[in-house]
Structure 1
């Protein structure tokens, strides 16, 4: 028997007949008139080449063929009702879902500790997978269903395919070791800043907002070291007289774990808007909605 030739609505009628053993009551149960229900029973009989239901007294009793089919049809009905027709939902307390989040190394340091601590209480079975992607690949990864969320500064994630929610603005500050000679001289002036030796981080494939601003303003620094990863800054700043100009959230982390000081940067640079981004494919996914709500609760300013 070819599945394409079967009206699956007939299985609904069959199941109703098995349960109610009455054309009238079965029709009422599934919203069919008595003539429509009688027509459905006739089509079932033709489909299976069997009477299926015969009248005995006041009820329509199933034949042996109908009894043999009843269990399988009931399982199909239950599966459709419980696994297909149920509205999508997400129960964080019992979920073991793994969420993949795109974020740079700064994002890993800023977002993950607090988010993991929150998940341990709200969704103890949920797992996180943090991945790094450059500007171009981030959009492809979200669109390809290989990630649920992007956290950070991704200026290319725009257009009708992507949604975004602003979390906070990140400004640039300077990092120096705690006993740096410059700290004894008072505030860091532009002249003093440009006279210092600098370490600069250039993450691969990332937007360098402060570097671009320096080029536009014509300021030149004495750069003695260039790095690819922000994590390397902590031991270097702590043990040298180099100064680093970094986003405020990273500076706060460095200050928490090393002997460094945060100083206002004398060059006014545009702030970095930090967002969470997601693709329209997951916009109405219950689990993704829940995750975005947790991120907003934890990190959204104001």
Structure 2
């Protein structure tokens, strides 16, 4: 025999707990039956089962009605506590009150998103949910595991390696641009393919976007003269604004850096496939109220039709 299964079989049915509570309150089988919406014979059968399971008469018929035994007096607080716990379990509020919530959210993102998305997200959260704390995590080989464990709540970016068990929502499409010093000595009104081949480049060597660019360069037979490789976008605007190097990068981070350092933005002189930026989350937290709120905020801020 399975001890766990045997123990489960001995647990009281919730309808017997409700009967116990009502009999204790009303002292009447008839009134208990009315409140339970059952016939009196049915309730009498339930009472017999309850007495058998608890090994006590529980209620004794007197001129003042059904009066509890000492064991019933001892058990009623426990029974009512169990009923209240079951009610809380079935009616637990699944909403997320942003204005009063105190919670930490970890969002995995690229360093480009630190520049382009995080400022807007933080400003919104500071206004709508002042008790919420944000943490920016990295997108790397552990991102899927962190989303699954709940260590991270959301990931923003292009993460094609996330497969079964994950949800995703497309937020926007990214195209590509080139940035150059506004006073570049050799580039005129347009950046030509000859210019692109001739000039010196900064290469950003991290992220899925880097692989898109490398593939496009190879397919078009374009070779770059890369004089500096960077692991991310930190310091890139200052470098381009003070030298004659150019850089190829996704549109959103390109336009943001151009505004910050008065750089020129050019269309790429050859075609690079666009890609989509998505928000990703694990199925374990699909119905979590806080996670739903955070996803809704990101969609409201960044979703573009």
1:288/1:132 CA distance change after superposition, 3 Å? same
Q: 1:279 — aligned with what?
A: 282
| 1:129-178 alpha-carbon deviations (Å, 9 max, x no partner) | 221132x533333333332222111122345x222211111111111223
- Residue 182 of structure 2: aligned partner: 178
Distance 1:240 1:149 in 2: 37
Match of residue 153 from structure 2: 148
Q: Is 1:258 aligned to 2:261, yes or no? A: yes
Q: What is aligned with 1:225? A: 228
Q: How does 1:201-216 map to 2 (within 5 A)?
A: 201-203=204-206, 208-216=211-219
Query: What does residue 40 of structure 2 align with?
Result: 34
Residues in 1 aligned to 2:119 and 2:25: alpha-carbon distance in whole angstroms? 55
Correspondence for 1:92:
98
Cα RMSD over matched residues?
Answer: 2.5
Contact 1:182 1:188 in 2 (8 A): no
Counterparts of 1:155 and 1:264, CA distance in 2? 26
- SS of aligned partner of 1:230: coil
Q: Tell me how far apart the structure 2 counterparts of residues 99 and 28 of structure 1 sit (CA, whole Å).
A: 49
Contiguous gaps of at least 5 residues in structure 2: 1-6
Superposed counterparts of 1:240-255, under 5 Å: 240-255=243-258
Structure 2 distance, partners of 1:97, 1:33, is: 49
2:142 corresponds to which residue?
137
Contact 2:220 2:270 in 1 (8 A): no
Whether 1:46 aligns to 2:52 is yes
Structure 1 residue aligned with 2:168 = 164
| Aligned counterparts of 1:246 and 1:85: Cα–Cα separation in 2 | 50
The reply to whether residue 72 of structure 1 matches residue 75 of structure 2 is no
Q: Number of paired residues?
A: 299
Q: State the Cα deviation string for residues 107-128 of structure 1 (Å, max 9, x = none).
A: 2222221111111222222222
Q: Secondary structure at the match of 2:206?
A: coil
Q: How far apart in 2 are the matches of 1:240 and 1:179?
A: 9
Within a 5 Å distance, the mapping from 1:107-118 to structure 2 comes to: 107-118=113-124
Q: The residue matched to 2:235 in structure 1 has which SS? A: helix
Aligned with 1:57 (options 56, 59, 63): 63
Q: 1:183-240: per-residue Cα shift (whole Å, max 9, x none)?
A: 5x21111111211100011126775211221112110011001111212312222222
SS in 2 for 1:94: coil
Return 200-209 or 226-235, whichever deviates more. Answer: 200-209
- Residue 10 of structure 2 contacts residue 53 of structure 2 at CA under 8 Å; is this kept in 1? no
| Counterparts in 2 of 1:280 and 1:132: CA distance versus 1, 3 Å | same
CA contact (8 A) 2:180 2:263 kept: yes
Q: TM-score, normalised by structure 1?
A: 0.88
Ranges in structure 1 where 5+ consecutive residues have no aligned partner: none
Corresponding residue for 1:6? 11
